[in-house]
């Protein structure tokens, strides 16, 4: 019987990082960055890529939100829900560790 993994939940204190099996690589044919994991390729948009690049294993989700809000001249509250939803989805797919 397979044990169920407890779902990791994103919080402002979470410190996301890419798992060992996931990497970002530039594809010169498509002229775009791909996120590669075993047997899967994802093509994130520019903002998703910006979020993923900030998942360095040192920055908290709160710091990532603050940095994105500053860089995109947006309110943190406007950015927070989208960033948390994105990271939760990618964590659920095992593409981001929390």
Residue % of the chain over a pLDDT of 90: 92
Per-residue model confidence as pLDDT tens digits over 4-54: 668 899 999 999 999 999 999 999 999 999 999 999 999 999 999 999 999
The CA-atom distances, in angstroms, between 24 and each of 2, 14, 84, 96 are 30, 21, 20, 12
Q: pLDDT band at residue 96, thresholds of 50, 70 and 90? A: very high
Q: What backbone phi and psi angles, to 5 degrees, belong to 35?
A: -105, 120
What are 67's two structure tokens?
Answer: 């940095």
| Residues pairing with 83 in the sheet | none
């Amino acid at each position: 019987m397979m044990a169920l993994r407890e779902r990791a939940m994103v919080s402002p204190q979470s410190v996301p990082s890419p798992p060992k099996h996931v990497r970002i690589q530039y594809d010169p044919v498509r002229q775009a960055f791909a996120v590669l994991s075993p047997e899967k390729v994802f093509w994130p948009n520019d903002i998703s890529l910006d979020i993923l690049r900030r998942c360095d294993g040192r920055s908290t989700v709160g710091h990532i939100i603050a940095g994105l809000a500053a860089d995109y001249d947006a309110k943190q509250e406007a950015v927070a829900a989208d960033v948390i939803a994105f990271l939760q989805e990618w964590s659920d797919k095992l593409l981001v560790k929390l």
